[in-house]
Amino acid sequence: MKVELVFIPLVATGHLRSAVEMAKLLVEQETRLSISVIILPGGEVGVLSAPPNDRLRYEVITDEDQPNFDPARPEFHIEYHVPKVRDLVEKLVNDYSTKPDSPKVAGVVVDMFCTSMVDVANELGVPSYLFYTSSAGNLGLKLHIQMLYDDNKYDITESDFEDTSDDVLDVPSLTRPLPVKCLPHAYASKQWLPLFVNQARKFREMKGILVNTVAQLEPYALKFLSSGCDTPPPYPVGPLLQLENGVGVGDSKDEKQSEILGWLDKQPNRSVVFLCFGSMGGFREEQAREIAIALERSGHRFLWSLRRASPNIFKEPPREFTNLEEVLPEGFFDRTKERGKVIGWAPQVAVLANPAVGGFITHGGWNSILESLWFGVPTTPWPLYAEQKFNAFEMVDELGLAVEIRKYWLGDLIAGSGKETVLVTAEEIQRGIMCLMEQDSEVRKRMKEMSEKCQVALMDGGSSQTALQTFIQDVTKNIS
């Protein structure tokens, strides 16, 4: 029997790309399966590595009157388009029912921020599944906080993030207590907490949860998620990565990439520390100077993707500084020209794949963590927003796969808007760089071992391939 899944990813590039990578793997795995990916307004098909074909199709929703996507309130963007998605899925179901040898719509796979689309699946009598783009540990944290919240046992407030607080939270997806100061800021925010709690309630309604992780990376968290009677079964199907850079010949980014990779090719293996902080990562001048001082003092080669902090991250992304000579310490470029390169945009995957890179200072978004794991590059997290403080704790303390610059990070570019992130000193950064670039460290050895496990997981018979097969079998069973 032919079956079809409908994917509804968030329009944010990281979410959209990983959803399509999963769709590619699924149709490769099962020839009787086809997938329609619904691209909501704001999503760019051009950033995707998979061209459409007979079994992987993109259904693009256009709406000239639609409100602009607001990263501060993604749920409003999703809810606005529920009627159009409902109409599209309903038409798909009806069309297939009238044509011989057509597939049966077997389920709707929704992004973690698209849970309002579950109502569409319910109305059409179709099972719904969740695609969770972050870690299994983070998923366990969210479900645990929702349970505490609903039982009136959750009382964490913004004051608990202060330096004087030593409070911890026992999280069943972790082997050790989580310091409250390592919680995502949203979990203490009156604006954001209800959104995340409501998301977690919706998670429990799903038939299953596809998680962008690897069984060998987070065994403890996955064991917890598999043991809950009211928790849908998890399928660890990662790492879902778009390793193709998507840069076209003649593109201005193609020229920049050639220049960057050309410079890296001249550096010794594992000698360069790479600094890159995601699409929303930027720094004010004072912090940029501290980083520059640390890089110069460390003596290590470096490739630094530097942008200035946005005055309002919800209205404009970070931009490049207009005159770095005025921002960074006087003479910095002259003194470091033989061993360092400061850039704006960075082709992150291509850089991490280059053998010259020996360490990665990152904002700690989950996609960036998975990319560093894939290429075996040790990391130092510098969390800036969202779940990144939790990711830093998990990578450093829980899994021992990263080194720290500092233990606790205050401020948040999104949920803590208006709160300045605390200045990280050159001394702290330099210490982190020296630990990160230590060639025979235990972290480097563990990272190499985990890299090999991540790659094996996606091979025939690997844990992620097996999870994909199990998911396909369960989808077929759940067809009414």
Decide if 182 contacts 127 (C-beta within 8 A): no
Q: 25 and 119: one domain?
A: yes
Q: Is 397 part of any domain?
A: yes
Name which residue leads in pLDDT, 412 or 140.
140
Lowest-confidence segment of 164-168, 177-181, 366-370, 387-391 by average pLDDT:
164-168
* Residues 291 and 325 placed together within one structural domain of the fold: yes
- Model confidence at 65, pLDDT cuts 50, 70, 90, reads low
Domains held by the chain: number? 2
Percent of the chain at pLDDT > 70 equals 94
Q: pLDDT tier at 45 (50, 70, 90 boundaries)?
A: confident
pLDDT at 64: 60
Task: Determine the Cα angle at 479 with ends 473 and 480, to 5°.
Answer: 150
Helices (H), 233-387: 252-265, 285-298, 324-327, 332-336, 348-353, 366-375
223 and 279, same domain (yes or no):
no
Average pLDDT of the chain is 91
Query: Do 219 and 74 sit in the same domain of this protein?
Result: yes
Could you read off the pLDDT of 387-417 as tens digits, one per residue? 999 999 999 999 999 999 998 898 888 765 4
In a domain, 147, yes or no: no
Q: Tell me if 56 is assigned to some domain.
A: yes
pLDDT value for 248: 41
Residue 117 lies in a domain: yes
Asked if 171 contacts 144 with a C-beta cutoff of 8 angstroms, the reply is: yes
pTM of the predicted model as reported, rounded to 2 decimal places = 0.94
Do 343 and 385 belong together in one domain? yes
Do residues 232 and 370 share a domain? no
Q: When comparing pLDDT for 77 and 146, which is higher?
A: 146
- 195 in a domain, yes or no? no
Q: Which pLDDT tens digit goes with each residue over 104-133?
A: 999 999 999 999 999 999 998 999 999 999
Question: What CATH number is attached to the domain comprising 263?
Answer: 3.40.50.2000
Task: Check whether residue 305 and residue 401 sit in a common domain.
Answer: yes
31 assigned to some structural domain = yes
Is 171 inside a domain boundary? no
Element (H, E) at 29: helix 13-29
Do residue 90 and residue 220 come from a single domain? yes
pLDDT at residue 246 in the model: 46
Q: Are residues 24 and 86 in the same domain?
A: yes
| 480 — pLDDT class (breaks 50, 70, 90) | low
- Quick one: 439 and 305 in the same domain? yes
Could you tell me if 96 and 41 lie in one domain? yes
d(CA 142, CA 154): 12
In a domain, 356, yes or no: yes
Domain of residue 433 covers: 252-454
Q: Are residues 294 and 424 in the same domain?
A: yes
